[in-house]
């Protein structure tokens, strides 16, 4: 397709001469698989009005979430950081004085140079995540890391377990196009996710399917807004989806829903799998998942009888120690029935593996030194408090450069994270849009632009477009983009790479051309370049992404790391989770809230108002047994820490399951520490990954 074939070119247009408003295209930068195409009302060179979903992208289809629709509230927030700051009180005290950009950057560089001289370059750890998903502004920090031989980055807080579990069977991070469900699926399964909260576009398409008569099944430990829309809600115990999938496969083989032609042609070990699941009937799965046998059987029949069954695999159910194994077990279902063969059938977890973009220039891949230690993002608490193993027996971390993330809220084992941030020998620079709880611990705080104030480009996970954006409005005060901070620090630290000398637009344009993609201007004018692979390939009908082209029922888990050897070779219940005990009888799910996005939007008044207060949703029978009434204060705790929230009886979840949506700021808890005080920094199997929904806790009613 040539760029000119696009009929929805998003050129800036006037909304009416009398209003002076122009509608300008952009893309949502937030850490959400939808990567929505946006239309932004520009009221003046510095102000925006409403933000709407664009029709130019048929996945966005004109719909976005409420929090981004109200972006004016965030971008024009009175609390935005607009000046560089230097700490003048104790760490965390929020006492800062204004300072110039050049003085601030000089201090950061001096400190990093001095610390590296004392302990070696690995003592500095650039720490980032996906506050913006723009590839240049997000990942450019790695160029500085590699140029300076600072500690390397093992990214584990989000997709480590889900990526591993999906790729273990399928072979690549791509799948069938979710838009197919609109017209073609007769069954849609939303597995382990709550898109009503976390990616509204899945619901747009699921509801189109449902209107046509397709059935909707939701598999989630509690009755989410998504589950409320479903024909069938399977309220599993957290961390038991592997058992459910195996029980379902038992029925599929036993009742003749397995497609043996497909199995022989497209999969590695169908006979072994059939023999293995024959030993694990629905009664076995019922005992582990807590679901009634009849529910498991009727879901299996629904799945087996569907002509086009589509599974949307979400991240939520992978956030357990056995999350990769569970994700893999779920991906086995369409390989058993051959659901991949039908339009509207198969599965999708994410498409990001399909884009040809090279990040070499952005990240300075030519500078990578594999001998430099790699530290685990999710193990920040143990790392900052001197855990030898977490530090890989190397020097302490004494310098942090933080962009795009708020670990003082989002990291597990939060007590350790906060203890670490308070260390007097630790120098911390935080580049942020707000004085977050992380920024409050910093020695130097730098004010950052928002996505409408800089250029960038974006892959997507939920759809197949690659999109370039241009700055829409001027930033307030002295806010600067991430690329500026990286390039200016590079100068002062003596780091050399061409990327530090280029503008963001030049980096984008060169990266795109080197990757054989449309140049930046063409992409922007066209509203994005579509990398859809076509029906055959996206459904793996030309084979799965392995040399022998076969889906793997028996993944080589040990290829991902030595702990892979502990894992069952065929799909199973891999029982390494933090099971409930008599001392800690509840299993906690620390799920995403609807109008917060991780820690983002916790600063906007409308989101705070809608989320009300930190709340523990509990089965009404558990509440009755503990004499807990709606609104009572309860303490949730375990060996890592504790916090206090208000209880709410909620039907639709099993006894022994407690759900706290977040991520609320720590200051919203009377203990001063939030839900991640109890979540664990243990790495999931086989190769790391955070386990936010795999936590045993005790609950105490407070007077």
Residues engaged in binding ligand MGD (CB under 6 A) = 31-32, 129-132, 137, 157-158, 192-195, 197-199, 219-222, 224, 236, 238-239, 241, 314-317, 320, 403-406, 410, 431-434, 436, 448, 482, 589-594, 596-600, 662-663, 675-676, 679, 692-693
Least distance in Å: CB of 380 to ligand SF4?
Answer: 25
* 267 forms part of the interface with ligand SF4 (CB under 6 A): no
Give all strands of the β-sheet with 465-469 in edge-to-edge order.
456-458, 465-469, 529-530
Q: Which does 35 bind (CB under 5 to 8 A by kind): ligand SF4, ligand MGD, Mo ion, none?
A: ligand SF4
Per DSSP, the three-state class of 97 is: strand
Please state the length of the chain. 703
Q: Is 279 left (phi over 0), alpha (psi -120 to 50) or beta?
A: alpha
Q: Which does 405 bind (CB under 5 to 8 A by kind): ligand MGD, ligand SF4, Mo ion, none?
A: ligand MGD
Q: What is the DSSP string of 300-315?
A: HHHHHH-SSEEEEE-S
| Segment interacting with ligand SF4, rule: CB under 6 A, options 15-23, 62-70, 470-478, 524-532 | 62-70
* 194 forms part of the interface with ligand SF4 (CB under 6 A): no
Q: How many CB atoms lie within 10 A of CB 586?
A: 20
* 200 forms part of the interface with ligand SF4 (CB under 6 A): yes
Residue 5 corresponds to which tokens in the numbers above? 């074939």
- Among 404, 414, 431, smallest CA distance to 379 is for 414
Least distance in Å: CB of 182 to ligand SF4?
Answer: 18
Q: Specify whether the CB–CB gap between 146 and 680 falls below 8 A.
A: no
Q: In sequence order, which residues have a C-beta less than 8 Å from that of residue 201 and are 6 or more positions away? A: 34, 36, 59, 60, 61, 63, 195, 462, 463
| Segment interacting with ligand SF4, rule: CB under 6 A, options 61-69, 171-179, 241-249, 672-680 | 61-69
Q: Which does 219 bind (CB under 5 to 8 A by kind): ligand MGD, Mo ion, ligand SF4, none?
A: ligand MGD
Per DSSP, the three-state class of 618 is: strand
Q: Which does 329 bind (CB under 5 to 8 A by kind): Mo ion, ligand SF4, ligand MGD, none?
A: none
Task: Spell out, one character per residue from 122 to 161, where the chain touches Mo ion: x when CB under 5 A holds, - when not.
Answer: ------------------------------------x---
Report the residue number, 194 or 538, with the smaller CB distance to ligand MGD: 194
- Among 238, 383, 406, 396, smallest CA distance to 322 is for 238
Report the residue number, 64 or 397, with the smaller CB distance to ligand SF4: 64
Rg (CA), the chain: 25
Q: Which does 222 bind (CB under 5 to 8 A by kind): ligand SF4, ligand MGD, Mo ion, none?
A: ligand MGD
Q: Are strands 695-701 and 657-660 parallel, antiparallel or unpaired?
A: unpaired
Report the residue number, 337 or 405, with the smaller CB distance to Mo ion: 405
Q: Pick from 64, 170, 188, 313 the residue near ligand SF4 by CB under 6 A.
A: 64
For residue 686, cis peptide bond before it (omega within 30 degrees of 0): yes
Q: Which does 64 bind (CB under 5 to 8 A by kind): ligand MGD, Mo ion, ligand SF4, none?
A: ligand SF4
Least distance in Å: CB of 30 to ligand SF4?
Answer: 4
List, in sequence order, every residue forming a beta bridge with 400; answer none if it has no partner. 125, 428
Least distance in Å: CB of 448 to ligand MGD?
Answer: 4
Q: Which does 179 bind (CB under 5 to 8 A by kind): Mo ion, ligand SF4, ligand MGD, none?
A: none
Distance CA 298, CA 131 (A): 41
Total residues at interface with ligand SF4 (CB under 6 A): 12
Report the residue number, 560 or 692, with the smaller CB distance to Mo ion: 692
Q: Which of residues 573-592 bind ligand SF4 (CB under 6 A)?
A: none
Report the residue number, 158 or 168, with the smaller CB distance to ligand MGD: 158
Per DSSP, the three-state class of 112 is: helix
Q: Specify whether the CB–CB gap between 63 and 54 falls below 8 A.
A: no
Give 384-392 contacts, CB < 8 A, sequence gap 24+.
384/416, 384/417, 384/419, 384/420, 384/421, 384/423, 384/426, 385/416, 385/419, 385/420
- Among 237, 379, 393, 333, smallest CA distance to 684 is for 379
Q: Pick from 68, 108, 251, 252 the residue near ligand SF4 by CB under 6 A.
A: 68
Angle, CA of 180, 186 and 192, to the nearest 5°: 75
Least distance in Å: CB of 2 to ligand MGD?
Answer: 32
Report the residue number, 66 or 79, with the smaller CB distance to ligand SF4: 66
Q: Give the rounded distance of the alpha carbon of 371 from its chain centre.
A: 29
Report the residue number, 60 or 679, with the smaller CB distance to ligand MGD: 679
Q: Which of residues 158-177 bind Mo ion (CB under 5 A)?
A: 158
* 65 forms part of the interface with ligand SF4 (CB under 6 A): yes
Report the residue number, 30 or 223, with the smaller CB distance to ligand SF4: 30
Task: Spell out, one character per residue from 31 to 60, where the chain touches ligand SF4: x when CB under 6 A holds, - when not.
Answer: -x-xxx------------------------
Report the residue number, 274 or 681, with the smaller CB distance to ligand MGD: 681
Distance CA 375, CA 127 (A): 10
Write out the E strands in 279-414: 309-313, 346-348, 374-376, 399-403
Write out the E strands in 33-81: 37-44, 47-53
* 246 forms part of the interface with Mo ion (CB under 5 A): no
Contact set with ligand SF4 (CB under 6 A): 28, 30, 32, 34-36, 64-65, 68, 199-200, 597
Contact set with Mo ion (CB under 5 A): 158
């Amino acid at each position: 397709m040539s760029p000119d074939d696009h009929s929805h070119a998003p050129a800036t247009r006037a909304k009416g001469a009398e209003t002076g408003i122009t509608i300008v295209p952009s893309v949502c930068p937030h850490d959400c698989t939808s990567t929505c195409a946006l239309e932004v009302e520009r009221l003046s060179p510095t102000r925006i009005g409403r933000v709407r979903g664009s029709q130019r992208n048929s996945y966005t289809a004109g719909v976005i979430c409420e929090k981004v629709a109200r972006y004016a509230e965030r971008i024009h927030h009175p609390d935005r950081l607009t000046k560089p700051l230097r700490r003048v009180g104790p760490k965390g005290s929020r006492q800062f004085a204004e300072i110039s950009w050049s003085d601030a950057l000089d201090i950061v560089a001096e400190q990093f140079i001095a610390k590296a001289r004392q302990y070696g370059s690995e003592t500095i750890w650039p720490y980032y995540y996906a506050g913006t998903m723009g590839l240049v502004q997000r990942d450019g920090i790695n160029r500085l890391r590699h140029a300076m031989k600072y500690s390397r980055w093992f990214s584990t807080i989000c997709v480590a377990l889900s990526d591993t579990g999906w790729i273990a069977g399928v072979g690549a991070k791509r799948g069938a196009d979710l838009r197919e469900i609109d017209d073609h699926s007769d069954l849609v399964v939303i597995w382990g996710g709550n898109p009503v909260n976390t990616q509204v576009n899945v619901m747009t398409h699921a509801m189109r399917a449902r209107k046509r008569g397709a059935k909707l099944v939701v598999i989630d430990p509690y009755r989410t807004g998504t589950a409320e829309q479903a024909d069938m809600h399977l309220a599993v115990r957290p961390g038991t989806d592997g058992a459910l999938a195996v029980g379902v496969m038992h029925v599929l083989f036993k009742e003749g829903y397995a497609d043996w032609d497909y199995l022989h042609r497209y999969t590695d070990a169908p006979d072994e799998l059939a023999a293995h699941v024959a030993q694990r009937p629905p009664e076995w799965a019922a005992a582990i998942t807590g679901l009634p046998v009849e529910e498991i059987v009727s879901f299996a029949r629904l799945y087996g009888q569907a002509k086009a069954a589509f599974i949307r695999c979400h991240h939520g159910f992978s956030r357990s120690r056995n999350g990769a194994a569970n994700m893999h077990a779920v991906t086995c279902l369409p390989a058993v029935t051959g659901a991949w063969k039908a339009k509207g059938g198969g599965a999708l977890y994410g498409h990001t593996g399909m884009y040809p973009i090279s990040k070499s220039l952005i990240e300075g891949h030519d500078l990578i030194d594999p001998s430099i230690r790699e530290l685990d993002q999710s193990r920040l608490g143990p790392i900052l408090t001197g855990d030898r193993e977490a530090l890989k027996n190397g020097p302490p971390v004494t310098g942090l450069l933080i962009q795009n993330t708020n670990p003082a809220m989002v990291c597990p084992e939060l007590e350790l994270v906060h203890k670490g941030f308070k260390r007097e020998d630790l120098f911390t620079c935080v580049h942020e849009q707000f004085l977050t709880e992380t920024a409050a611990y910093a020695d130097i705080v730098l004010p950052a632009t928002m996505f409408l104030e800089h250029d960038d480009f974006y892959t997507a996970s939920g759809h197949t477009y690659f999109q370039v954006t241009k700055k829409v409005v001027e930033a307030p005060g002295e806010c600067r983009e991430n690329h500026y901070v990286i390039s200016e620090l590079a100068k002062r630290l003596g780091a050399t790479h061409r990327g530090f000398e280029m503008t963001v637009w030049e980096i984008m344009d060169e990266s795109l051309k080197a990757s054989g993609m449309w140049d930046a201007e063409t992409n922007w004018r066209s509203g994005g370049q579509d990398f859809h692979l076509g029906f055959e390939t996206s459904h793996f009908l030309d084979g799965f992404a392995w040399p022998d082209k076969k889906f793997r029922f028996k993944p080589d888990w040990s290829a991902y790391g030595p702990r892979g050897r502990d894992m069952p070779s065929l799909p199973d219940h891999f029982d390494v989770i933090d099971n409930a005990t008599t001392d800690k009888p509840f299993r906690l799910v620390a799920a995403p809230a609807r109008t917060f996005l991780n820690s983002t939007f916790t600063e906007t008044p409308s989101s705070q108002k809608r989320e009300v207060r930190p709340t523990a949703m509990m089965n009404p029978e558990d509440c009755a047994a503990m004499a807990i009434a709606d609104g009572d204060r309860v303490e949730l705790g375990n060996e890592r820490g504790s916090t206090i929230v208000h209880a709410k009886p909620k039907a639709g979840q099993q006894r022994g399951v407690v759900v706290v949506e977040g991520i609320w700021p720590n200051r919203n808890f009377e203990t001063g520490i939030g839900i991640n005080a109890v979540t664990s920094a243990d790495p999931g199997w086989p190769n790391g990954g955070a386990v936010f929904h795999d936590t045993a806790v005790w609950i105490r009613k407070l007077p």
